[in-house]
Amino acid sequence: MRLAFGVVVFLIGVHATAANAQTANRPNVVLIITDDLGYGDLGSYGAPDIRTPHIDSLARDGTRLTDFYANGSTCTPTRVGLITGRYQQRVGLEFALGAQGAKDWERGLSVTGRSLPQLLKNNGYVTALVGKWHLGWKPEFSPRAHGFDYFFGFKSGFIDFYQHTAGADGPLKADLFENDEPVTVDGYMTDLITERAVRFVEQHAGRSFFIDVAYNAPHWPYQRPDQPSTARDQGRHLSPFDEATSTRADYVAMVERIDQGVGRILATLDKRGLRQKTLVIFTNDNGGEWLSRNAPLFHHKTSVWEGGIRVPALIRWPGHIPASRVSSQVGITMDVTTTILAVTETKVPMGARLEGINLLPTLARGGQTVERTLFWRVSRGSLVQQAVRSGQWKLLFDGARPLLFNLRTDIAERENLIGRHPEVAQRLRGLLAAWQAEVDAEAKQAGSR
């Protein structure tokens, strides 16, 4: 019996050593996602009043994308696109969980064994999510169930930055977890996310890792850092439209605190000698809300106008991605999934059916731009919008009205060209109809299983 046990321990050790050796030459991945940041709220995207030197360093040392999109116009859909690598409509999670009544508290992203973190874990990577989840509250929908080795953060769409409590109508009024256990930790949520991210990098610097750093800022409540008493006086869950208590200055302070956190994470990579070996991606989950600066785009979060879905994206990987380059390659959140799996040489099962592309060949020096056709849809009560972008053209339905824009010449979507180019509108209408029929059929089939 002792001999058999020793053999088992030896084989486990050999397997672990082999897994570490297998991933030794593959990059680490640090994915940083902010929440409701405006397209124009970074210095590298033209912000006049926000200082973001650390985030902007990713543009200086890497590539800035001008035409990058979120999968959805709210939190949950985009995060589904990231975790699954597919359109969120295929699993019926088209709007933010918690926004459609009590039934939402029972829903979440089902486990398939083909999620981004699970596939990376299967490939020998240690995986972590620090920050916002928003893909289901029940244990069977938790980050750990989807393949994250470590989770520190919250499951709701937003929380109080100081009290770490969720919406009063939900089941998780106290909403802070470490792995699957509720925890109580003092501190400003942005700082807590940064601290746990830094700790994870420090602890796992000797092996290949993937960490999703999902900041909840600058999502409301607009609570500034270093002012817990003021935040309590204003109320734990401010309305996002409470102009009496929320200002652009509050928002600016929140974004600049994120930038400080990103600086700490990047400095930790440098301290551990991991800069050259780490792919760093910075992006956002949807367009900004009312305190955000979405210029030069029109509209905001929850819409499929450019201001609701086009987001900042910065990618750094020294020696692989050119520095100080600006790319007009059209991309989407699902591309982040495919790109990460490709550069980490992770085996992707056929059943995953990824819908994104690997951006690295295009972003590499001299890479050719790939023309894309991408789709969006929002359907919640009276809000019904659909859009398709194909090349430079975008067809948008805001309600029943079709609008056609040439995004190459009209990024602000001001000139409806449908009367001048009816043939383009007709082609895009057909693509959009076919896509909607396909994803709805798959969602219906999945719901029946």
Q: What is the pLDDT of residue 193?
A: 98
The counts of H helices and E strands in the chain are: 11, 16
Residue of higher predicted confidence among 197 and 233 = 197
In this predicted structure, the answer to whether residue 212 has a pLDDT above a threshold of 50 is yes
Strand 150-154 versus strand 126-132 pairing type: parallel
CB atoms within 10 A of CB 243: 9
The yes-or-no verdict on residue 157 having pLDDT over 60 is yes
The H or E element spanning position 446 is: helix 422-448
Residues linked to residue 32 through DSSP beta bridges, in sequence order: 213, 282
Full-model pTM: 0.92
Comparing 319-333, 354-368, 407-421, the range with the smallest average pLDDT is 354-368
Q: Tell me, what's the pLDDT at 246? A: 87
Sketch out the chain's domains with CATH numbers.
27-369 (3.40.720.10), 381-448 (3.30.1120.10)
- C-beta separation of 311 from 75 below 8 A: no
Cβ 135 vs Cβ 97: under 8 Å = yes
What percent of the chain is predicted at pLDDT more than 70?
88
pLDDT at 29 over 70: yes
List pLDDT tens digits, range 292-320: 999 999 999 999 999 999 999 999 999 99
Q: How far apart are CA 436 and CA 331, in angstroms?
A: 20
| Amino acid 365: pLDDT | 72
Token output for 430: 């057909």
Q: What is the mean pLDDT of the chain?
A: 91
Q: Is the pLDDT of residue 23 over 70?
A: no
Give the integer Cα–Cα distance in Å for 56 and 58.
Answer: 5
Active site residues: 75, 134
